[in-house]
Amino acid sequence: MNILLIGSGGREHALAWKMKQSPKCDKLFIAPGNAGTSRCGTNVAVAVTDFEGIKSLVISESIGLVVVGPEEPLVKGLVDFFKKDPELASVPVIGPSAFGAQLEGSKAFSKKFMERHNIPTASYREFTSENYAEGVEYLKQHPLPIVLKADGLAAGKGVLICSDRDEALAEFEEMIKNQKFGSASAKVVVEAFLDGIELSVFALTDGKNYVLLPEAKDYKRIGVGDTGLNTGGMGAVSPVPFADAAFMKKVEEKIVKPTIDGLNKENIDYTGFVFFGLIKVNNEPWVIEYNCRMGDPETEVVMPRLQNDLVELLLAAANKKLGEASVKTDPRAAVTTVAVSGGYPGDYQKGFVISGHDRPFSEDVVLFHAGTQEKNNEVITSGGRVLALTAYGKTIQDAASRSRQALEAIKFDGMYFRTDIGYEF
Ligand code: AMP
Ligand code: GLY
């Protein structure tokens, strides 16, 4: 079967790497892909939101399965576009409908969904310019810190945690009145702060049944010791030592099952990944957020630990047969360290040549590309997050030190990476 994967990050390279290992995968196309995905298949210069371009590709290359990496095309209705088009309707797509993608695309939608299904999440209220004055009163009496969330997609920047009330009031005004995050912050969710440790849990669902993939933890801050600005993710580990069997049982019973049952009961068209952004507070799991896709850089440790044939699992999801599937996990730990451009997450330059990426790595190391491109037979940097180097190990520490060691051999101008991924385990 020919497969089309949509996206261009480290997540997509990890998905491409895993799908390419399947005997069921004939030709693999990636739109638009990066210099790493071009080693797993054929990159095609079609943007992730160019639905007509995607349609032409699906038809011309006889694509039998489409896998969507990022949230944007899902929230914008790629799945609905396929279902409505007679030439595409029979092609399975891994990803939810636009309605289902609101689990990620609208914080207010996801909070209401959790409320309806008694899924533990922080208490909240939602405000727009209509009830702005009420919002100000609400903020004046809300315990600190206060969490403000732009309702819509804001490129991972729409969440503010304010430990000062005046700051919260000023940000609230900026978001609603001055459109700090454009139309995404026309509606703001104000929610209680939860104090705990975070982890990422992933399910693949056919809308009724699901399988759980290995859990992971990502490291969002730029600096060693979880300091400095937030980024798209500087590294990830799997498994997560504090997510033991008893805790994961609670996660399944209190969060995963009620979520999938909720989607099913409400007839929400959802075939694809559900990413549960969780926080463990006093040994209990709470939902911080849902995403309608896999995590990045979590995928770069989840895929290496998944022992199943990924294409088989995805086809089982598309054919509503996930009830018969079970996941096999590599007992080894996996750690990925992300190498970023100097200056990231602020301004940074692109176009630097990357050396050392092509040398043979040992068997327990996999290099995934994120922001890379091919130019004149060289690989150059083309984004903030450039590479994700994943290593296996007996323990997280072991995997982490292999990951760092392997990165030492790779160079580009301004390259930076955290040297402490997994430090607390
Ligand atoms: P989100 O975009 O919803 O993932 O939020 C970004 C980050 O903000 C999360 O990963 C958490 O670290 C933090 N966060 C969001 N909501 C809360 C909350 N209610 N309590 C504590 N931290 C939160
Ligand atoms: N690593 C968090 C995310 O993918 O949103």
The confidence score (pLDDT) of residue 156 equals: 74
- From 218, 294, 299, the mutation candidate for ligand 2 (largest count of ligand atoms within 8 A of CB) is 218
The mean pLDDT value for 389-400 works out to 98
pLDDT digits (tens, 9 = 90+) for 340-355: 999 999 999 999 999 9
- From 123, 288, 291, 292, the mutation candidate for ligand 1 (largest count of ligand atoms within 8 A of CB) is 288
Closest-CA residue, ligand 2 atom 5, reads: 295
The confidence score (pLDDT) of residue 12 equals: 98
Q: Is the bond into 297 cis (omega within 30 degrees of 0)?
A: yes
The confidence score (pLDDT) of residue 310 equals: 98
| 71 CB near ligand 2 (under 6 Å) | no
Closest-CA residue, ligand 1 atom 11, reads: 288
The confidence score (pLDDT) of residue 157 equals: 81
Q: Are 107 and 289 in contact (CB under 8 A)?
A: yes
pLDDT > 80? residue 208 = yes
**pLDDT band per the 50, 70, 90 thresholds, residue 38:** very high
pLDDT > 80? residue 422 = yes
In the reported structure, the alpha carbon of residue 191 is separated from the centroid of ligand 1 by a whole-number distance in angstroms of: 10
The confidence score (pLDDT) of residue 162 equals: 94
| 7 CB near ligand 2 (under 6 Å) | no
The confidence score (pLDDT) of residue 54 equals: 98
In the reported structure, the alpha carbon of residue 233 is separated from the centroid of ligand 2 by a whole-number distance in angstroms of: 7
pLDDT digits (tens, 9 = 90+) for 66-97: 999 999 999 999 999 999 999 999 999 999 99
The confidence score (pLDDT) of residue 36 equals: 98
The mean pLDDT value for 3-19 works out to 98
Closest-CA residue, ligand 2 atom 4, reads: 295
The confidence score (pLDDT) of residue 171 equals: 93
| 218 CB near ligand 1 (under 6 Å) | no
The mean pLDDT value for 225-246 works out to 96
The mean pLDDT value for 234-252 works out to 98
Closest-CA residue, ligand 2 atom 2, reads: 295
In the reported structure, the alpha carbon of residue 131 is separated from the centroid of ligand 1 by a whole-number distance in angstroms of: 24
The confidence score (pLDDT) of residue 312 equals: 98
Least confident of 36-40, 152-156, 195-199, 407-411: 152-156
**pLDDT band per the 50, 70, 90 thresholds, residue 146:** very high
The confidence score (pLDDT) of residue 155 equals: 80
The confidence score (pLDDT) of residue 302 equals: 98
The mean pLDDT value for 283-299 works out to 97
pLDDT > 90? residue 182 = no
The confidence score (pLDDT) of residue 360 equals: 79
**pLDDT band per the 50, 70, 90 thresholds, residue 215:** very high
The confidence score (pLDDT) of residue 87 equals: 97
**pLDDT band per the 50, 70, 90 thresholds, residue 233:** very high
| 194 CB near ligand 1 (under 6 Å) | yes
pTM as predicted? 0.96
Which ligand 2 atom is the nearest neighbour of the CA of 236? Answer: 1
The confidence score (pLDDT) of residue 143 equals: 94
